[in-house]
Structure 1
Amino acid sequence: MMKSCEDFFEEYKYCQEKILVFFMTFPIYLLLLNVKLIWSFCMHTFFTSLYNEVSEIFNGKNSVFSFNPRCRK
């Protein structure tokens, strides 16, 4: 079955609209991905520093909570 010029034109318009929508929304996807990566990095840094602070309190040198007998006064 032969397609008419109108059919080709309709398919072309449809594809053009899909491509346009993709390129209009693509930066939004990149932004969301970037925000997720930045958020993950910040949370990792925060929890790592929090863990280090808490472990220094409980296991640090001259700590009341220290379980290492060599660190006690």
Structure 2
Amino acid sequence: MSTNTPNEKGTPQSRTYTVNDIAAILGIGRATAYKLANSGAFKTIRIGNMIRISRKSFEDWLKAEGLDDETE
């Protein structure tokens, strides 16, 4: 799916995830998600106090770890 494809509400899909997003996706706590985000496993960017995770980098990491839904 293209990152510029509108979702069902008509708004463009974000090119990044928040730490809370990856926590929810993986079913882990926020503290663990922050540790993972800071581990260097995927690309992140800091904007002030916020951490944003590259959607593509995170999804590539999921595939490499065998955790993506498409392989099940």
TM category, shorter: under 0.3
Which structure has the bigger radius of gyration?
Answer: 1
**Of Structure 1 and Structure 2, which has the larger fraction of its residues in strand?**
2
What TM-score do you get using the length of structure 2 for normalisation? 0.20
Structure with the larger RCO, 1 or 2 (CA within 8 Å, 6+ apart): 2
What TM-score do you get using the length of structure 1 for normalisation? 0.20
**Of Structure 1 and Structure 2, which has the larger fraction of its residues in helix?**
1
